[in-house]
Amino acid sequence: MQTKVVPLRAEHLERHRIVSFNKNSNMGWAFDLLRTQVLKVMEENGWRTLAITSPTPDAGKTVLAINLAMSIAHHTTKTALLVDFDLRRPKVGAYLDLPMDKSLNEYLADEAELQEVLVNPTLPRFVVLPTREPIPLSTEVLSSPAVSHLISDLRERYDSRIVIFDLPPLLSSDDVLTVLPKFDCVLLVVGNGMNSKREIEDSLHHLGSANLIGTVLNKAEPQKRSYS
């Protein structure tokens, strides 16, 4: 069974600040820079799975995860697989305007095979595993053998694949701490002016045993760039 192919609508993506879908856009340079930095560290360590989280909601982690995955798909020979693991507030599918008749919900309920729930949004080497609606008892689900098997399967199935997991906010529940040891590395997204010093320090403390590859300041005003 082939992965379902779904066309993207540019106006919908732009409305949700998804700018990396057009590889010729000059608005995606920040995500291209982030892609280069992230992949360098991951390749040096042989890592394939990247978790993305934030201290609190609305830091823009989902938008960043989508743009980063698209940048990887556009500019490298690797396949970028984006998985919506924010089981309390899943947004990836909605931001991409994907049909979700079968999603992670059905996979975890043993109502669909993995190949049935993967979607290719018409970008070469870009695959999405969306979550259609919130999943009850998310902490228990994320600690389940089914989720461990899924992560392992996605990591090992293809050598040239980078798997990005959009996780819930770190300080909002214990979901992230439950599932974090299953990933190779993690990226922390901080919303500009949205998080206190204490929240950032608490987040870094919780991530102390993880392979934290960086912290991204999101929603910051872009600086003027010149090149001569």
CA distance 112 to 109: 8
CA distance 73 to 71: 5
Q: For the chain, how many structural domains are there in total?
A: 1
Q: Is residue 14 part of a domain?
A: no
Q: Is residue 208 part of a domain?
A: yes
The whole model's pTM is what?
Answer: 0.91
Q: Is residue 36 part of a domain?
A: yes
- The pLDDT of 83-93, averaged and rounded, is 97
CA distance 182 to 93: 23
Q: Is residue 223 part of a domain?
A: no
Q: Is residue 12 part of a domain?
A: no
CA-based nearest residue to 189, from 41, 47, 66: 66
Q: Is residue 8 part of a domain?
A: no
Q: Is residue 20 part of a domain?
A: no
The CATH number that applies at residue 167 is 3.40.50.300
Which is more confident, 4 or 125? 125
Residue type, 126: F
Please give the pLDDT value at position 193.
Answer: 85
Q: Is residue 7 part of a domain?
A: no
Residue 2: pLDDT band with limits 50, 70, 90: low
Domain enclosing residue 56, as ranges = 27-218
Chain centroid to Cα 109, Å, comes to: 22
CA distance 130 to 155: 17
Q: DSSP letters of 196-221?
A: -HHHHHHHHHHTTTS-EEEEEEESPP
Eight-state DSSP code of residue 169: P
**Each residue of 154-196: pLDDT tens digit?**
998 888 999 999 999 999 999 999 999 999 999 999 988 888 9
CA distance 177 to 143: 10
